[in-house]
Structure 1
C-alpha cells in the first residue's frame, strides 16, 4: 500500500496543494500567535528583571514607613543603599501654562525617585538624572505633548503653593502620564510624607531580605527576583488576554480549514471510487483503505505544518513590528520559538487534517466494488435524510435559545456559546437550504454572465452537499466580520447616545479636584455670540447655537478658557467622534485577523471548483462539441464561484446580524442599548465576497476553457 500511497500523492499533488495551503494558514495563525505572545512575555520579564536588577529586597506594609524606618534599614549590615517609594496624584500645568488632561482627567501620577540613579533603574531616552527642582517625564506623554528636556512644568496639588520643576530627562518603560521627582521636591509638591515601600540594594538577596524583615516587624519583604516576577506578572495578564483573543480567531481559521479539508477529501474519494474498488478487488481490506486515506491526510497535514510554521515565524515578526509601530513598547527579547510551539503547530496541522478526513475515509470503506467500477462521471447527490433535517432543526432551536437567553440575561459567554450549535445546524441543514438559496443567489450571475450563468444555475441543485460545504467555509468568516461590524457600530451608537443623555450639552468646563473656576467664567462664556446658554452644575455646561459649526464653537470656547489655566474643557461632540475612531480601529484589527479565514475560504472555493472541473471533463467536452464557446464555459465556472460566495456571504451576514445584536444586549445595560446596522459596510462585505468568488473561480475556469473537445470526450 505504500507504493499506492506515494503514487497517489504524486498524481494528485496539484489537487492537494490548495488543501495544504488552507491548513498552513491555520497553523501559521496558531504558531504566529504563540511566538508573538511568548516574545511579549519574555520582553516583559526581561524588562522587569532589568528594572529590579539593583533591588536586593523590597519591603511593603499596610501603612506607611517613616524616615526612621528608612534610616534603620539603610544602616543594616550588608545593605549598600536604601530608598523610599511614594506616589501621589496632582494636576500639572504644562509649559504653556494650561492644565494637562487626558479625556477630561487631570490627575497626573507623581512618584518619588531614589537619590541615586542606580537604585532608580530608570531607562532614560534623553537628558540626565534629575537634581533638585527637576523632573523625569515618561517619554510617551512627552512625545504626545511635544515636551522635551528643558521645558517647565508646574504641579498644583496645593493651589496656594504651586511647585515649578524643569524637565531634565525622558524615560521609557514607565506608566503613561507619570512625573518622577527627587524626594524633597515630591514632598514639597504633594505634601505627602512617609513611604509606601522601601527598596534595598545589596549583594545577597535572601540574606538581606531576611535581615530587613527582622528590622521591620509586620512588613512584607520580598527578594529582588520575587519583586521582578511580580512586576512582570502584573502586566502578563494583558498578554494572556491578547493570546486568548488571537487564538479564538485562530480557532475560527482552523474550523474553516477543517471544512475545506473535509470537502476536498470527500470529493477525492468520490472521484477515486474506481481506483479504490480495484484495490478492493485485488484483495485490499476495508481497514487498509481507511488507513490509506488517513495516511494521505497525515502527509498533507505534515507538509502544511512545516509551511505553516514558516509563515507563523513571519507572522510573529510582523505582529511584533506592528505593535512597536503602534507605540505598544519595544520587544527587548529575541523571537521566542519554544519546543511547545513547534510541537503544537505540528499537532494542529496533522491533527486537524486527519480528523477532517475521517468521514471521507469511512465512506471509502463502504464502497461496493462492482458498483463503483460502473459509477457515472458526476454523481447526483441524494437529498438530506429526515434525521439530518431534524437534527439540524433542533440545533438551530438550541442556538436561538442560548443566544436569546444570553441577550436577555446580559450573559456574553452564553450568547457567544450559541454560535457553535448554529454552525452545526448549518452543516446539517446546508444541503437542504442551499438549493433554494442557489436559485436566488444565481440571479445576479444570470445578469452578469448570460448563458454561462444559466449553465451554473443547475450545478448547486445537482450536488447540494458539496455546494453547502464550500459556501459554509466562507460563511464562518463573514459571520465573524458581520458580528463585529454590527456589535461595534451598535456599541458606538449606544455609548454616544448615553454620553448625550448624561451630558446633554456641547461642552463641559470643569476644574481639577480641589480647585475652583473663576466666578466670572460663566458670564464670559455666555457673552460669546456662538454660545446659547451656560448652566451651572458641579461644572459648567455650555450650549452653543444650532447654526454654529463644531470647529467654530471650539475656537470660541477656547478663546475664553485659554485664559484660565485650570479650566478643563471636554468637547462632548469630540468624545463621540473619538468613540467612532476607536470602533474603526477595532474593526481594522478584526479585519486583519479574519483575513486568514477568508483566504482559507478562497482556497476552498478554488479547490472545489478545480476538482469539479476534473470530475466534469466529459460534460464540458460534450458542451464544447455542441458549440459552447470557451468564453461561455469560463463564464459558467465564474458564475458558480460568484454564486457560492454570495450564498456564504448572505448566510454569514444574516447570522452575524443576529449574533451582533445579541452581543450588544448581552454586554451592555438594556436601558441604553441601541442597535445600529452599518448598512454600507455590510453591503461592502457582500460585494467583496462576490469578488472573492470570482477570483477563486478564475483558475478553474481557465483550466476548463483550455480542454479541447476531442480530448475531453476521450478522457477515461
Structure 2
C-alpha cells in the first residue's frame, strides 16, 4: 500500500518532484556521457589500431626501456631497439609470407591551402612511406607519390586542409622547407581521430626518417595462420636479435595503451560528475525536507490508521527511489545524446570519430544505481524526520517538526573550519604540503556547509541591510523569509557554495600562475626576442637558426634544444644549450661552481635538484641515451655549476656539443631560439626582419618579453575555460535548486501570500519579495564558497614555490563579477516562482489548507 501511495504522490505532484528529476537527469547524463564517450573513443581508436596493424606478424627490436614501452601510445616498438630494413628482404623469401614491409614513418609539418600549418599544436601530422606492395594501401583519386616532390593525403586531411589532388603546397621535414604537389588521395577505411596522414614515396621517406637503414617495425603479411607465420619468421631470423610477435599481440598492446589513456580521461571527467551529483544531493535533500514538512498532517493520519514508522520511512524513501529511477532513465538517454552531439561538434573541428556510441548493460546499471542511491541517501534524513510524527498529531490544527538547536552544529562546523585553517597554514610551512593543503581545503568546505545554518541569520541581516533601507517593505519581508528557516537557506546556498568554491580557487590559481609566469619572464628573460614553434614536437627547423643569426642587427642567436633520455636512472626531458644562453639570454644565478666549466661533458643542475640528489660540483651523473638504432649508450656528465634559473624548465642541462655528439639527430629538437640584438639596433626594424626570416615556416613566431607573457597567459586561460565549463553543470544544478526551493516555499506559504495580498500588497511587490529572497540566498552561497576557495588557493604559491609558482594574485575584479553574477543568477532563478506567486488568486490562497 505504501508503495502505491509513494507512486501516486510522485504522479500527482509533478511540480514538487520535477526539479529533483531534472537534477538527477543532469548528473546521470554526465556520468553516462562519460562512460559512453570512453566507449566511443575506445571503438574509434580500436578501428585505427586494426587498420594500422593489420599484419599477421611483426618484427621489432629487443626491449631496452621498459618505462618508454609502458608509457607509449599505440607504439608497439616504443622502448625497443630498431631493426635493419633489409631484414624485410629475407622475410619475403620465407615460405608462406606474402610480403614484408618496413615501417618507414615520422612527423612533418603540412601547409594548408590557406598558408597556415595543419593542426599546429593539435593533432599530429604523420608521414608514411608508401610501399606499392602494401595490401592495406588503397588509393582513391590520383596516383601514388613518386619522388621527393609529391605527396598523397588521406580523405580527411584533404578536407581539413582544403587541398585537392593536383594542389601545390609545402611541407617542413627534417628542418627544411620543401615544395610538393598532392598527387593522390589515400583511403584507410577508418577515421583518423584528427591526425593528418601524409603519404611519401618509400625512398623519400627512407631518406627523411631512416637514413641509417633501420626502422622500428617490419609488418609481415601472410595467408597462413598467425601462429604459423610467427613460427616461420622466428625460425628464419633466429640469432638476429629481434622479436617476432603475432599481429593480434601488437593490436592488443596498442589497444591496452589507448585504454590506459582513456581511463585517465574518464576518471578526470567523473570527478566533475561526482561534484555535480554531490551538489544535486543537497537539492534533493532540501526538496524532500520541504515535502515532508508539507505532508506532516497527512503522515500523522497515516500513523493514526496504523502505518508504522518504518512504513512511513519506506514511503518517503520510495518516492526518492522513483525520482531516481525516472531521472536516471532520462539521464541515460541524455548522456548518449550528449556524446552524439559532442561527436558532431568534434567532427566540425576536423576530429572525426568513427566509433559507435554503445550503451552496454554495465553503464545502464551504474547510472541507475547511482541515480537511485543519490536520491535515497539524500532523502533518508527527511524520511526519518517524517517517520517520527506521532499519530495524535492528526487531531491538531497544525503539525510541525521540532527543530534542534543550531548551537551544536555551529560548534562542530566551527571546529572543522578551525582544523581546516590550521591544515592550510601548516601546509605552507612544511615540505611537500600539497596533501595537507587538500585536506585543509576539504575540511574548510565541509565545515562551512555544517556551520552555514548557524550563521545564516547574522549573514543575511548584513546582506539585507541595503534592501531594508532602500526597498521597504520588500527588503524586510525577504530577509525575514530567508532567516525563517536557516537550514533550508543553508542547504540551498550550500549547493552554490561547492561550485563557487572550486571556481574561486581556479580563478586565484590561474591569476597566480599568470603573475608567476610574468615574474619569471620579466626577471629571467634577458634576450630581445625569442622564436618559438606552434608545433612542439617538430620544434624550430635547424636551418632557421643560421638564418636568424645572419640577420642584420643580430648579436647572437642561442638555440635551446631538448630530448628525452635517462638521467641518474630517471627518464625525463633534458635541455641543451651553449654557455651564452645562460650568460646573455636568460638570467642565471650561480650558486656554486662556475659557468666556465660548462663545456664538453660539463653540466648545469638546478639548486633544488642538487639538494634532493645530494649532488655537488664535480659529481658525475650517469646518463643513458638511445642511439640511432635505439640501443642504450651509457655516458656520464660532470656537474660544472649548480644554478638558479627559474625560467628554465627541466633539472639537468648539458652542452650543445655533448648533446649533438651523443643524441641522434632524429631525437634532437630545437624548442626555441633566443635572439640578442646588437647595441643601438632598432628593435622594431629587427623584429620585422626576423619575422620575414621565419615567415615561410608558418609555425614559427617571433616574440618579445610581453608577447611571451601574453602567450603563456592565454594557454592558462584556455585551461581555465575548460575547468569553468566542467564546473558549469554544478552551477546549473545549484540554480535549479534555488528555483526548486522558492517554488516549494511558495506552496508552503500560499495562505501567507493570500493574507499579504488581502492587506494590500501588489503583485509586483510580492514578486519583488521572491526575487529578493533568491538574490540573498545566491549571494550568501557565492560569498561563502568564494571565501573558502580563495582562502585555500591563496596558500598554493607558498606550497608550490619550488615549482616556479611563487606569486599570489587575487583577481578581485573577477571575484566581484562572480558575486554580481550570483545576484543575476538569483534574479533569473526567481522569475518562475515569482510569477507563480503573483498569479495566486487571493481567495484561493486564503482558503488553502
Counterpart for residue 131 of structure 1: 146
Task: Check if 1:317 corresponds to 2:317.
Answer: no
The alignment's TM-score, normalised by the length of structure 2, stands at 0.73
Counterpart for residue 89 of structure 2: 71
Counterpart for residue 59 of structure 2: 59
Distance 1:263 1:547 in 2: 69
Change (3 A) 1:698 1:519: closer
1:286: Cα distance to partner? 1.0
Counterpart for residue 336 of structure 1: 358
Please show how residues 347-358 of structure 1 align to structure 2 within 5 Å. 347-358=369-380
Counterpart for residue 44 of structure 1: 45
- The structure 2 residue matched to 1:199, chosen from 192, 200, 219, is 219
CA contact (8 A) 1:449 1:636 kept: no
Task: Check if 1:702 corresponds to 2:835.
Answer: yes
Task: Check if 1:618 corresponds to 2:751.
Answer: yes
- The structure 1 residue matched to 2:203, chosen from 184, 192, 196, is 184
Task: Check if 1:287 corresponds to 2:302.
Answer: no
Distance 2:682 2:464 in 1: 51
Distance 2:807 2:358 in 1: 44
Distance 1:570 1:125 in 2: 43
CA contact (8 A) 1:88 1:111 kept: yes
More strand by share: 2
CA contact (8 A) 1:95 1:151 kept: no
Task: Check if 1:383 corresponds to 2:414.
Answer: no
Change (3 A) 1:228 1:391: same
Please show how residues 242-321 of structure 1 align to structure 2 within 5 Å. 242-321=265-344
Counterpart for residue 641 of structure 1: 774
1:610-664 residue CA offsets vs partner (Å, 9 max, x unmatched): 2211222222222222222222222111110110011111112212223433455
1:677: Cα distance to partner? 2.8
Change (3 A) 1:378 1:231: same
Q: What RMSD in Å do the two structures reach over aligned CA positions?
A: 4.0
Distance 2:407 2:292 in 1: 21
| Secondary structure of the structure 2 residue equivalent to 1:113 | strand
Please show how residues 72-471 of structure 1 align to structure 2 within 5 Å. 72-86=90-104, 113-116=129-132, 118-119=134-135, 121=136, 128-133=143-148, 134-136=150-152, 150-151=167-168, 153=170, 157=174, 166-169=181-184, 173=192, 181-189=200-208, 191-203=211-223, 204-217=225-238, 218-327=241-350, 329-371=351-393, 373-374=395-396, 376=398, 381-386=403-408, 388-404=409-425, 409-410=431-432, 412=434, 415-446=437-468, 449-471=471-493
Change (3 A) 1:564 1:17: closer
Q: Which has the higher contact order (CA 8 A, sep 6+)?
A: 1
1:290: Cα distance to partner? 0.9
| Stretch moving more, 422-431 or 630-639 | 422-431
Aligned residues: 699
Distance 1:547 1:686 in 2: 49
| Stretch moving more, 510-519 or 15-24 | 510-519
Distance 1:175 1:314 in 2: 22
Change (3 A) 1:645 1:515: closer
Counterpart for residue 715 of structure 1: 848
Distance 1:125 1:490 in 2: 53
Distance 2:699 2:33 in 1: 48
1:706: Cα distance to partner? 2.5
| Stretch moving more, 353-362 or 178-187 | 178-187
| Stretch moving more, 369-378 or 609-618 | 369-378
Counterpart for residue 517 of structure 1: 546
1:483: Cα distance to partner? 2.3
CA contact (8 A) 1:474 1:598 kept: yes
Change (3 A) 1:345 1:463: same
Distance 2:439 2:803 in 1: 20
CA contact (8 A) 2:49 2:251 kept: yes
Distance 2:424 2:251 in 1: 43
1:669-689 residue CA offsets vs partner (Å, 9 max, x unmatched): 354422233333323322221
Change (3 A) 1:40 1:178: closer
1:359: Cα distance to partner? 0.6
CA contact (8 A) 1:265 1:357 kept: yes
1:39: Cα distance to partner? 0.7
| Secondary structure of the structure 1 residue equivalent to 2:217 | strand
1:467-520 residue CA offsets vs partner (Å, 9 max, x unmatched): 100100111122222222222232233234334444334412597458862597
Distance 2:306 2:427 in 1: 56
Change (3 A) 1:215 1:391: farther
| Stretch moving more, 36-45 or 497-506 | 497-506
CA contact (8 A) 1:438 1:647 kept: yes
1:344-391 residue CA offsets vs partner (Å, 9 max, x unmatched): 1111111110111111111112223335753758878553132x2332
Distance 2:707 2:729 in 1: 35
Change (3 A) 1:332 1:540: closer
Question: Unpaired segments of 5 or more residues in structure 2?
Answer: 63-80, 533-539, 557-580, 586-655, 657-672
Question: Unpaired segments of 5 or more residues in structure 1?
Answer: 528-533
| Secondary structure of the structure 2 residue equivalent to 1:201 | strand
1:10: Cα distance to partner? 3.8
CA contact (8 A) 2:385 2:401 kept: no
The alignment's TM-score, normalised by the length of structure 1, stands at 0.86
Counterpart for residue 648 of structure 2: none
CA contact (8 A) 1:492 1:580 kept: yes
Distance 2:518 2:715 in 1: 12
Change (3 A) 1:662 1:6: same
1:211: Cα distance to partner? 1.9
| Secondary structure of the structure 1 residue equivalent to 2:94 | coil
CA contact (8 A) 2:112 2:161 kept: no
- The structure 2 residue matched to 1:627, chosen from 739, 755, 760, is 760
CA contact (8 A) 1:380 1:462 kept: no
Counterpart for residue 529 of structure 2: 507
Change (3 A) 1:545 1:464: farther
1:431: Cα distance to partner? 0.7
1:256: Cα distance to partner? 0.9
1:224-248 residue CA offsets vs partner (Å, 9 max, x unmatched): 2222233333334332222112111
Change (3 A) 1:593 1:448: farther
